[in-house]
Amino acid sequence: MSLQTVAVWVVVVGVFLVTLKPLGTYIASVFSFEPTFLDKPLRPLEHGVFRMFGIDPSASMTARQYGVALILTNFAWIVLSYVLLRLQGQLPFNPQHMPAVNPQLAFNTATSFGTNTNWQAYSGENTMSLFSQFGNLEFLQFVTPAVGGTMAIAFIRALSGKKMGNFFVDLVLMCTRVLLPLSVVFAILMVWQGVPETLGAYLHIHTITGSTQVVPRGPMASWEAIEHLGTNGGGFTNANSANPLENPTALSNLFQVIMMGLLPVAFFYTLGVMTGKRKMAWTLISVAGLMYLAIGAMVYFPMELGDPVINALGLHGHIYRVGTELVFGTGGTAAFETSTMSFTTGSVASAHDSALPITQLAYFSAMFLNLVFGGKGVGLLNMLMLVVITVFIMGLMVGRTPEFLGKKIEAREVSLASIAFLLHPFLILVGTALSVALPAGLKGVFNPGPQGFAEILYGITSGAANNGSALGGLGAALPYYEVTIGIITVIGRFASVMAMFLLAESLLKKRSVPASSGTMRTEGILFGGILAGSVVVLNALTFFPVMALGPLAEHYLLLAHHLF
């Protein structure tokens, strides 16, 4: 492991550790309606928005009202985005005269960006006008991660015995107090590193070979800021953060890695502040952090060791790096890819299809777990879902009614947590099975053997996990995948949330039970170990069979020097 690699990982982990407490405390203050340093400049703007839309900041909602408001608002954004994409040719800021987006692709893009998934079955620089990029899709890159944050905040309030709050108030505050200020800072840093920020037309330049090349440009710096801060992941260009216009330097790459994890990690500490259970928050942070480092090792070491077939030819060395973007080196690439998969961002700095099978297995593992800090707020929600299930399992082991934060976990709570947990593998496994069985699904496979199967599985998993990245080699622009993945992203985003909101409401209605000597503690090394074991075992039992048909099969075939 090189000194550069060590330095990258030390900086990334160090920044997360230094910022998680102050940022998590700040988020808790904002949503506990305590004074913050941004009150004076932003409160007039927020109250103006409240008056414009008739929002009563003092009104609170039930779990059902909060969930319905959340879902209907998102569906309204999806419909609006679809209409704007279909009208793209008639709208302004279209210097390249891009035509209207076709119906299936418009549906796929609207549902994808409207669910914070940002799966892209198109090439941005060749399909979308500047208005579609910054006026339509970039708007969704602000509001949809804000929705993810509101989900976690509402659930945390219920756990702390308070009303769930008002969805519209939380949505506005998440945008104005959290995402907007950080986006301004990081957009400036991106411009400093050479990322374009303009509404001008594409450039036509003459190369040193005498040919002419079209260089796409646009408001990329602001796009990159919210793309990564909001764990969105949708690229302005087809190559995403592997494009030197979007990610030109090793320092810009480091900034983007930090942007991805800054808020997801801080939200775990926000849980501790708002519930008064800081030790529990540190336990959850430790569990997620160890998983993050384990996934990082699975990504990095295969890149560093190289392809066994090429190594057998005596060609191992610096002449090639499998799955590595040479501009950032193995360490920088591994840090980016570990973060984009763990935080469910979905942006890429290298071609995932070129990665070795064990690295691809790490990508799958992060999406299957969906709680290695995960998306902003949503990863915390998924972790708490597994905490409830783990507490129930512990109760069965010792023969007493389990408790969580002073509330008894009974049949209703376990049922709702189980529904939320099982929906994720159901969408992935059923969606993959249908895609493998139907001719329309097989039509999009361009690689044979286990790699072809992995490409289908990855596409479906990416949609279900609201990740949005692609393994490559799959005909994602086919109508079958445009429609199928679009439907999966919507169900994967909202169905489990309603189950978790009902769980939160159920806990809110329960009486608090005083802690006793028999109360099972949800903090410390023992609970952290049991939680980590539960997470790994439950997901391994669920997903190992499909992994044996994909990356694991390919890995053993590669060790036998079998190419296909």
The neighbour count for residue 411, using CB atoms within 10 Å, is 8
Helix ranges (DSSP H) in 54-137 = 63-86, 103-114, 124-127, 130
| 501 domain residue, yes or no | yes
Tokens at 204, concatenated: 């036509």
Q: How many CA atoms lie within 13 A of 348 on its CB side?
A: 24
Per-residue pLDDT 10s for the chain (564 aa) are 777 888 899 999 999 999 999 999 999 999 999 999 999 999 999 999 999 999 999 889 998 899 999 999 999 999 999 999 999 999 999 988 999 999 999 999 999 999 999 988 888 889 999 999 999 999 999 999 999 999 999 999 998 888 889 999 999 999 999 999 999 999 999 999 999 999 888 888 888 888 888 888 889 999 999 999 999 988 999 889 999 999 999 999 999 999 999 999 999 999 999 999 999 999 999 999 999 999 999 999 988 888 888 777 776 655 556 778 878 888 899 999 999 999 999 999 988 888 889 999 999 999 999 999 988 888 999 999 999 999 988 888 877 778 888 888 888 999 999 999 999 999 999 999 999 999 999 998 888 889 999 999 999 999 999 998 888 888 888 899 999 999 999 998 888 888 888 998 888 888 877 766 667 788 899 999 999 999 999 999 999 999 999 999 999 998 888 876
Q: Which residue has the tokens 């030819």?
A: 313
| 129 domain residue, yes or no | yes
For residue 518, what pLDDT is reported?
66
> Taking the model in full, what pTM does it have?
0.93
| 208 domain residue, yes or no | no
For residue 318, what pLDDT is reported?
53
C-alpha 496/C-alpha 400 separation (Å) is 28
| 207 domain residue, yes or no | no
| 564 domain residue, yes or no | no
Closest CA to 269 of 94, 515, 23: 23
Side chain identity at 40, as an amino acid letter? K
Tell which phi-psi region holds residue 524, choosing left (phi > 0), alpha (psi between -120 and 50) or beta.
left
Side chain identity at 499, as an amino acid letter? A
Strand partners, 407: 404
* DSSP, res 203: E
The neighbour count for residue 294, using CB atoms within 10 Å, is 16
Please name the residues in contact with 51: beta carbons below 8 A apart, sequence gap of 6 or more: none
Number of domains comprising the chain: 1
| 11 domain residue, yes or no | yes
For residue 333, what pLDDT is reported?
92
For residue 322, what pLDDT is reported?
72
Side chain identity at 324, as an amino acid letter? T
- Give CA angle at 393 (388, 395), nearest 5°: 95
| 488 domain residue, yes or no | yes
Measured CA to CA in angstroms, residue 403 lies from 284, 407, 467, 509 at distances of: 17, 5, 33, 14
SS3 track for 221-279: HHHHHHHHHCCCCCCCCCCHHHCCCCCCCHHHHHHHHHHHHHHHHHHHHHHHHHHCCHH
Range of the domain at 133: 3-202+214-559
| 209 domain residue, yes or no | no
pLDDT tens, position by position, 50-96: 999 999 998 899 988 999 999 999 999 999 999 999 999 999 999 88
